[in-house]
Amino acid sequence: MINSEMYRLGSAPSSIRELFEYGRKLKKEIGDENVFDFSLGNPSTPPPQAVLSEMERILTESEPCALHGYSSAQGDLAARKAIAEDLSSRFGAKISPDKIYMTCGAAASLCITVRALVSGENNEFIVQAPFFPEYRVFTENNGGKLLVADADTENFELNIPAIEKLINERTQGIIINSPNNPSGVIYSERSLNELASLLTEKSKEYGHPIYIISDEPYRELTYGKRVPYIPDIYPDTVICYSYSKSLSLPGERIGYIALPNGVSDIDELYFAICGAGRSLGYVCAPTFMQKIVASCTGQVSDLTVYRKNRDNLYAALTVMGYSCVVPDGAFYLFVKAPGGDAVKFSEKAKELGLLLVPGDPFGCPGYLRVSYCVSEETVRRSLPAFGRAIDLFQ
Amino acid sequence: MINSEMYRLGSAPSSIRELFEYGRKLKKEIGDENVFDFSLGNPSTPPPQAVLSEMERILTESEPCALHGYSSAQGDLAARKAIAEDLSSRFGAKISPDKIYMTCGAAASLCITVRALVSGENNEFIVQAPFFPEYRVFTENNGGKLLVADADTENFELNIPAIEKLINERTQGIIINSPNNPSGVIYSERSLNELASLLTEKSKEYGHPIYIISDEPYRELTYGKRVPYIPDIYPDTVICYSYSKSLSLPGERIGYIALPNGVSDIDELYFAICGAGRSLGYVCAPTFMQKIVASCTGQVSDLTVYRKNRDNLYAALTVMGYSCVVPDGAFYLFVKAPGGDAVKFSEKAKELGLLLVPGDPFGCPGYLRVSYCVSEETVRRSLPAFGRAIDLFQ
């Protein structure tokens, strides 16, 4: 008399978490310095100094009952105003603070958005492979069904023909994530334009909007290339944001959902988002962190270490014979598994203390995710293991 | 093509929130000093000094990446150990840290627990009236059906015959809340023993455990009377806890679920709780607050103002002719509505600047909830309005 699906989800942790836990044990056995853990997307650069200073200032200067009391369910008005202003100044975005809903991070943003959009029994959401595997958990446990569009393994761009094949009258939205976890690719304006044309046409054909659900935790983690602002390209875009990466605050669970002006049924959808948050037990986003957002949204952690790791790893791995696209954002390399079998390669690599996540749960077998949000030293010291690993498969 | 149930939940805020928002507007019109807002359960006493000091110390002394990084999904081990030790020292509780799951507050604890327990289409949960109305939202949107046992309006104790009538083979649990919101009553050991006998018998009859889901945010908010430790009385008890009231941190969203030794199917249920948390988008509880819990669990905010407000309001209102049970805990009085119609009385009271929540959504029409987590001055200054209000109905 216990929910068997919940039992399954709880007893079978994600392969990423599993590898991470394995690494923790291995470190105890053979020493921290002999384990090269590229499993988790846990930021390795501290929050911006402004965030740390604001934390101290706010704690010292605020009246504690007001600071730690409930905010409204939609969130602190100052935080919502700051977000709207920041998005306006950086992207020319037109978003009313009244159409922003503060959340406990991106996972919450996505669960709430899916639940708000699910209007019937068989509503479907499409995701472009490779994709963050928890999207399946968030979608399929909140009333939706997830369909995966095959990856474009040449460029890891949007695969428009593959997406088109999956669209039908039950399609409610497509989840996209750019810069992408796990490929590091920033979808080009060209491919986003093609997606927009396709969705516009299909929305018309089926008589209801097909929303883009844009999961943007890596929006600010880029190495030179511009990230297109998606609502400019396709108005029916729901932005799901998290400060986990940009402010290096993943444990604090703070993010938001934003509905830009121009979203279809914007008032109804916003109310449904408020209702979905309520129904999932999200009373309000953590209030201390909402105050941090009010003064620090738009700031970005120092990305120097990520950039160096990206450059060093990409250069060293390609010289060794590994193959991967240049990652323009996020903190992942998505490497073709030497020998073709990523699970097999990952197992062998584990024996060398090298923890790499196979791409299979990302909808992209044959590839390995390398999370380079680690120290520069870990990257440097890991290179011999990468070398030995590829030698085993050549 | 938007979820109509979510739209309904989001567009029709709870009557409590509605009254609170009305109060905010009214304050702007007629001045703060002329509005006596007894609508919300938002703590009016600050967090314990030890909590405030620990916040500063932890922020100053911790390495920021570790402090604000992800914890494991079940939560920081130090926090879980501290909770287990505190419950052991205060109640002789036997709970393993590995059977504690840190949550984003009581609402999350309840949604997760219901979802973990729902094993079929028609699973039912019983609640004793009067009850916190959001229980219905949390239960019915996470796969359960909520059945309400009629109130014992003499003493606001557990109404065992009413509960018995509702139990059947589909019953998965009964949600109880003591000290109770809205009545302030602490269920007696005697009535809990009767409930335990009933549930033991019915669990045997139907061949599966019927769990008590004990929602305990007010456990430490008492005025002399002891709160029985429920797992001592009935082993199949799931504890849902929140620090919102005991540490005056409602906006920070921190609490836990604990499965004491002796809970049936404890391993399966714990995994299902982990899975339910994952499926609802709760990646981990806020990590800074988890550190606070690790060093401050068991502390309690200064309750002096609540005690004074309780004493003063109870004394004054009963002298005026209002009728209510003595509240032994929490920070609510549950007053019989003069004239019998609580909605009508609440409407008239609003005209006097007096904001009282009708008991109807609590499953107890004809009563009014008075949240006395306000300043002493608000209580003192509100008394003439209480006097005028009762005069209108006599």
Q: What is the pLDDT of residues B95-138, one digit of tens each?
A: 999 999 999 999 999 999 999 999 888 899 999 999 999 999 99
pLDDT for position A92: 94
Residue numbers in B near A101 (CB within 8 A): none
Residue of B nearest to A13 (CA): B275
At residue B239, what are phi and psi to the nearest 5 degrees? -90, 125
pLDDT for position A122: 86
Considering the domain boundaries, does residue B53 fall inside one?
A: no
CB A113 within 8 A of CB A273: yes
Residues whose CB is less than 8 angstroms from the CB of residue A290 and which lie 6 or more positions away in sequence, other chains included: A71, A75, A76, A79, A102, A254, A284, B251
Residue numbers in A near B3 (CB within 8 A): 115-119, 143, 272, 275-276
Residue numbers in B near A57 (CB within 8 A): none
CB contact under 8 A, B251 and A68: yes
Q: How many residues does chain A have?
A: 394
Which of B296, B320, B347 marks a domain boundary?
A: B296
Q: How far is the alpha carbon of A56 from chain B, nearest alpha carbon, in Å?
A: 7
CB contact under 8 A, A115 and B3: yes
Which of B272, B296, B320 marks a domain boundary?
A: B296
Of B44, B111, B119, Cβ closest to residue A280: B111
Say yes or no: B258 and B321 in one domain: no
Q: Determine the residue type at A73.
A: A
Residue numbers in A near B291 (CB within 8 A): none
Of A7, A252, A275, Cβ closest to residue B7: A275
Q: How far is the alpha carbon of B2 from chain A, nearest alpha carbon, in Å?
A: 5
CB contact under 8 A, A69 and B42: yes
CB atoms within 10 A of CB A96: 15
Q: How far is the alpha carbon of B5 from chain A, nearest alpha carbon, in Å?
A: 8
Say yes or no: B356 and B309 in one domain: yes
Supply B207's token pair.
Answer: 């061949």
Q: Which residues of B71-103 are buried (b: 16+ CB within 10 A; e: fewer)?
A: bbbbbbeebbbbbbebbeeebebebebebbbbb
CB A372 within 8 A of CB A38: yes
Residue numbers in A near B306 (CB within 8 A): none
Structurally, chain A folds into a number of domains equal to: 2
Residues whose CB is less than 8 angstroms from the CB of residue B142 and which lie 6 or more positions away in sequence, other chains included: A279, A280, B111, B114, B115, B118, B280
Considering the domain boundaries, does residue B30 fall inside one?
A: yes
CB A329 within 8 A of CB A346: no
CB contact under 8 A, A281 and B107: yes
CB atoms within 10 A of CB A248: 25
Supply B69's token pair.
Answer: 């990084």
Q: What angle do helix axes B376-392 and B304-320 make, rounded to 10 degrees? A: 20
What average pLDDT does the segment B259-286 reach?
97
Residue numbers in A near B284 (CB within 8 A): 251, 253
Q: Using the Cα atoms of residue B368, residue B369, residue B371 and residue B372 in order, give the sign of their dihedral.
A: positive
Largest CA-CA distance found in chain A, in angstroms, rounded? 64
How far apart CA B140 and CA B136 sit, in angstroms, is 6
Q: Which residues of B158-189 are buried (b: 16+ CB within 10 A; e: fewer)?
A: bbbebbbebbeeebbbbbbbbbbbbbbbbbbe
Q: What is the pLDDT of residues A325-371, one digit of tens each?
A: 999 999 999 999 999 999 999 999 999 999 999 999 999 999 999 99
Residues whose CB is less than 8 angstroms from the CB of residue B337 and which lie 6 or more positions away in sequence, other chains included: B344, B345, B346, B358, B359, B366, B367, B368
Q: What angle do helix axes A342-351 and A376-392 make, rounded to 10 degrees? A: 120
Residue of B nearest to A116 (CA): B3
CB contact under 8 A, B43 and A250: no
Q: Using the Cα atoms of residue B15, residue B16, residue B19 and residue B25 in order, give the sign of their dihedral.
A: negative
How far apart CA B9 and CA A281 sit, in angstroms, is 12
Which of A296, A331, A363 marks a domain boundary?
A: A296
Q: Which residues of B240-271 are buried (b: 16+ CB within 10 A; e: fewer)?
A: bbbbbbbbbbbbbbbbbbbbbeebbbbebbbb
Considering the domain boundaries, does residue B236 fall inside one?
A: yes
Say yes or no: A10 and A62 in one domain: no
Domain of residue A226, CATH code: 3.40.640.10
Q: How far is the alpha carbon of A270 from chain B, nearest alpha carbon, in Å?
A: 8
Say yes or no: A214 and A314 in one domain: no
Through-space distance between the first and last CA atoms of chain B, rounded to whole angstroms = 51
Residue numbers in B near A134 (CB within 8 A): 278
pLDDT for position B24: 85
CB contact under 8 A, A68 and B118: no
Residue of A nearest to B375 (CA): A65
CB contact under 8 A, B43 and A1: no
Tens digit of pLDDT per residue, chain A (394 long)? 899 999 999 998 778 888 888 888 899 999 989 999 999 888 999 999 999 999 999 999 999 999 999 999 999 999 999 999 999 999 999 999 999 999 999 999 999 999 999 988 889 999 999 999 999 999 999 999 999 999 999 999 999 999 999 999 999 999 999 999 999 999 999 999 999 999 999 999 999 999 999 999 999 999 999 999 999 999 999 999 999 999 999 999 999 999 999 999 999 999 999 999 999 999 999 999 999 999 999 999 999 999 999 999 999 999 999 999 999 999 999 999 999 999 999 999 999 999 999 999 999 999 999 999 999 999 999 999 999 999 999 8
Of A108, A208, A277, Cβ closest to residue B1: A208
Supply B278's token pair.
Answer: 């994952």
Helix (H) / strand (E) containing B173: strand B171-176
Total-model pTM: 0.97
Residue numbers in A near B115 (CB within 8 A): 3, 6
Chains A and B: how many Cβ contacts under 8 Å?
A: 261
- Beta B100-103 vs B255-258: how paired, if at all? antiparallel
3-class DSSP state for residue B37? strand
> Rg of the Cα trace of chain A?
21
Say yes or no: B175 and B85 in one domain: yes
At residue B14, what are phi and psi to the nearest 5 degrees? -60, 155
- Beta B237-242 vs B211-215: how paired, if at all? parallel
CB B271 within 8 A of CB A7: yes
At residue A94, what are phi and psi to the nearest 5 degrees? -115, 100
Say yes or no: B189 and B270 in one domain: yes
Say yes or no: B90 and B218 in one domain: yes
Of B44, B60, B116, Cβ closest to residue A6: B116
Q: How far is the alpha carbon of A290 from chain B, nearest alpha carbon, in Å?
A: 10
Say yes or no: B140 and B288 in one domain: yes
ipTM more than 0.90? yes
Q: How far is the alpha carbon of B390 from chain A, nearest alpha carbon, in Å?
A: 31
Residue B287 has pLDDT above 90, yes or no: yes
Q: Give the CA-trace dihedral at B93, B97, B99, B101, to 10 degrees.
A: 110
How far apart CA B38 and CA B46 sit, in angstroms, is 18
Residue numbers in B near A276 (CB within 8 A): 3, 6, 9-10
CB contact under 8 A, B251 and A52: no
Chain Cα centroid distance, residue A331:
11
CB A153 within 8 A of CB A342: no
Say yes or no: A162 and A78 in one domain: yes
3-class DSSP state for residue B196? helix
Say yes or no: B34 and B129 in one domain: no
Domain of residue A25, CATH code: 3.90.1150.10
Residue of A nearest to B76 (CA): A251
Of A52, A71, A272, Cβ closest to residue B6: A272
Of A9, A208, A279, Cβ closest to residue B279: A9
- Left, alpha or beta for B330 (phi > 0: left; psi -120 to 50: alpha)? left
pLDDT, mean over chain B: 96
Residue numbers in A near B281 (CB within 8 A): 104-105, 107-112, 138, 280
CB A338 within 8 A of CB A322: yes
Say yes or no: B306 and B231 in one domain: no
How far apart CA B242 and CA B239 sit, in angstroms, is 10
Confidence of residue B41 (pLDDT cuts 50, 70, 90): confident
Note down the domain range covering B316.
4-48+302-392
Residue of B nearest to A272 (CA): B7
Confidence of residue B17 (pLDDT cuts 50, 70, 90): confident
Q: How far is the alpha carbon of A111 from chain B, nearest alpha carbon, in Å?
A: 6
Say yes or no: B275 and B343 in one domain: no
Residue numbers in B near A4 (CB within 8 A): 119
Of B119, B251, B275, Cβ closest to residue A9: B275
What average pLDDT does the segment B51-77 reach?
95
What average pLDDT does the segment B329-352 reach?
96
Supply B338's token pair.
Answer: 């003069």
Q: How far is the alpha carbon of B287 from chain A, nearest alpha carbon, in Å?
A: 5
B59 CB burial (10 A radius; 0-12, 13-18, 19+): middle
Q: Which residue has the tokens 């472009």?
A: A128
CB contact under 8 A, A3 and B275: yes
Residue numbers in A near B119 (CB within 8 A): 1-4
pLDDT for position A118: 95
Residue numbers in B near A105 (CB within 8 A): 281, 283
Q: What is the pLDDT of residues B153-201, one digit of tens each?
A: 999 999 999 999 999 999 999 999 999 999 999 999 999 999 999 999 9
